[in-house]
């Protein structure tokens, strides 16, 4: 789950409080973010006039 959503649901005023308190529940979050970035960077950009 996105920590920003958790922050909003719990009413925390700062994301730091949420991350400090609940980061141990999100051990695979960094790995998922890295995988998503790698996938996005491998996909060719298909927007604009050059895409046609």
Interhelix angle 3-10/15-22, nearest 10 degrees: 100
Q: Is residue 15 part of a domain?
A: yes
Q: Which domain holds residue 37?
A: 3-41
Question: Which residues touch 28 (CB under 8 Å, ≥6 apart)?
Answer: none
Structural domain count of the chain: 1
Q: Is residue 47 part of a domain?
A: no
* Residue for token pair 């920003």: 4
Q: Is residue 46 part of a domain?
A: no
Name the pTM for this structure: 0.50
- At 48, the pLDDT band (50, 70, 90 cuts) reads low
Q: Is residue 30 part of a domain?
A: yes
- At 35, the pLDDT band (50, 70, 90 cuts) reads confident
Mean pLDDT on 11-21: 92
- At 44, the pLDDT band (50, 70, 90 cuts) reads low
């Amino acid at each position: 789950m996105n920590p920003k959503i958790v922050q909003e649901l719990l009413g925390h005023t700062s994301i730091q409080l949420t991350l400090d308190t609940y980061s141990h529940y999100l051990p695979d979050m960094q790995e998922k973010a890295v995988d998503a970035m790698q996938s996005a960077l491998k996909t060719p950009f298909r927007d604009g006039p050059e895409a046609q």
